[in-house]
Structure 1
Amino acid sequence: MNYKVNVKLALVFIFGVAMGFLESIVVVYLRQLYYPYDFKVHLVIPSHMVQIEMFREIMTIVMLVIVATLAGEDKFRRFYYFIYLFGIWDIFYYVGLKMLLNWPSSILTWDILFLVPTEWFGPVLAPVIVSLTFIFYGVIMILKKENFDFVQMLIGLCGGVIIFATFVTANSTTLNYDWYMFALGEGLLLFSMIEKFALARKKPKKII
């Protein structure tokens, strides 16, 4: 059984890497079209093209969901495979951009992260930290065959909402990002994982 899970994790990893590089290649084309001389954080493109880009991003998420659904044996495993795959895809997207464009120049370089349901901005380091957390979280929960409990889900959800808020409220003009709120959200994500394992250890063992 562990062998099958390891093979799945490896195949999903390869898919995530491929999708990350594919996404970076698409962005290379977009930057060449709209910023042939110098890339800017802001998207200054026609509104109908913004809508097309939003649709592309939604379809990307649909692809991740489908692969995670095929990989996971139940609803919990599907979610864990999704966050694992999402993290791989996001990190290798930036790896691809670094290889192809030598961008970002540093981990604190700002980027437009997403367009749905509104624009997300922030330093590259922030989504990379979240993606690493997703990968670590997903792998451990898949291998340990753990399920969500209500408290864990609530804590993790609060952390995710806080991080989302830092992205959509970030000021890309003044490059002002709320690292304190991000740290709080990331801390809640990590705490939800720690809380899960702490409860698992406290469960009394069955006496035969």
Structure 2
Amino acid sequence: MTSEAAARRRIWGQLAAVFLWAVAFALVEAAVVVYLRRIFHPGGFAFPLQPRPYDPILGVEVAREAATLVMLALVGFLAGGRGWERFARVMVAFGAWDIFYYAWLWVFLGWPPSLATLDVLFLIPTIWVGPVWAPCLVSLGLVLCGGAAALRVGAGGRFAFGRRGWALALAGSLLIVSSFVWRGEEAARGEMPGPFPWPLFLLGMALGLWAF
């Protein structure tokens, strides 16, 4: 076996381990959400959300979300390797975790009934709202781009962003996040969120993919 083939085999093994870890962690995340929905939405989760007075549990939930991000970030670095190889594994971990989070929710609750279903995606620093297909599309891109970058770097190749690449990635990320928080205040006020700004989202996706 050549050194390049051995390196690729090692990278595939690491990616598989990260992927399986993310699938298992997604189950834990989905289980927590099942408990939260039993507490806050015993009649079922749907928009418009009912405004609630501040509950300390919400503070715990925000802390849990922050801890989740830390865990997803660290798992990609624990296997070692060079900078981009590590970051690529973080991308794969986050993408797989998010996709399988919804898969496990569907197994446990039969929710979401469709990819067009609205969901509260995140609470940091404000409410993120969007149809399920949007974060899943972002996550699919992360898995594919992250996996490709990890294989290239791990096999001895070179992968790096120039100024244009960083500018495209940053602009795309900002547009995607903006599309998710666009209707957040409406949801927080107990209103039915307006249409998802999908042109803004798709432009952000296009810029992000162009960066790679």
Query: Could you say which TM-score interval applies, normalised by the shorter chain?
Result: 0.7 to 0.9
Cα pair 2:179 2:200 within 8 Å, conserved: yes
C-alpha displacement of 1:96 = 0.3
Question: What letter is aligned with 2:38?
Answer: Q
Residue ranges of structure 2 left out of the alignment (5+ in a row): 1-6, 154-158
The 5-angstrom pairing of residues 124-143 of structure 1 reads 124-143=132-151
The 5-angstrom pairing of residues 16-165 of structure 1 reads 16-41=22-47, 42=49, 44=52, 46-145=54-153, 146-165=159-178
Give 3-state SS (helix, strand or coil) of 1:46's partner: coil
1:179 aligns to 2:206 (yes or no): no
Give 3-state SS (helix, strand or coil) of 2:161's partner: coil
For residues 59-104 of structure 1, the C-alpha deviation after alignment (integer angstroms, 9 at most, x for no partner) is 0011111111113412222221111110000000000000110000
**Whole-angstrom distance in 2 between the partners of 1:167 and 1:47:** 24
**Whole-angstrom distance in 2 between the partners of 1:46 and 1:27:** 18
Question: What letter is aligned with 1:81?
Answer: R
2:15 to 2, 9, 13: 9
**Whole-angstrom distance in 2 between the partners of 1:45 and 1:153:** 41
C-alpha displacement of 1:45 = 6.3
Normalising to structure 1: TM-score of the pair? Answer: 0.88
Give 3-state SS (helix, strand or coil) of 1:174's partner: coil
Question: What letter is aligned with 1:189?
Answer: G
Cα pair 1:34 1:45 within 8 Å, conserved: no
The alignment yields a C-alpha RMSD, in angstroms, of: 1.4
Distance change in 2, residues 1:108/1:66 (3 Å) = same
Cα pair 2:161 2:211 within 8 Å, conserved: no
Higher mean C-alpha displacement, 15-24 vs 141-150: 141-150
**Whole-angstrom distance in 1 between the partners of 2:102 and 2:53:** 22
For residues 146-194 of structure 1, the C-alpha deviation after alignment (integer angstroms, 9 at most, x for no partner) is 223222121011101100000011254234210110110011011111x
Distance change in 2, residues 1:174/1:121 (3 Å) = closer
Normalising to structure 2: TM-score of the pair? Answer: 0.86
**Whole-angstrom distance in 2 between the partners of 1:4 and 1:149:** 27
**Whole-angstrom distance in 2 between the partners of 1:174 and 1:54:** 22
**Whole-angstrom distance in 1 between the partners of 2:149 and 2:117:** 32
**Whole-angstrom distance in 1 between the partners of 2:79 and 2:132:** 29
Give 3-state SS (helix, strand or coil) of 2:121's partner: strand
Question: What letter is aligned with 1:132?
Answer: L
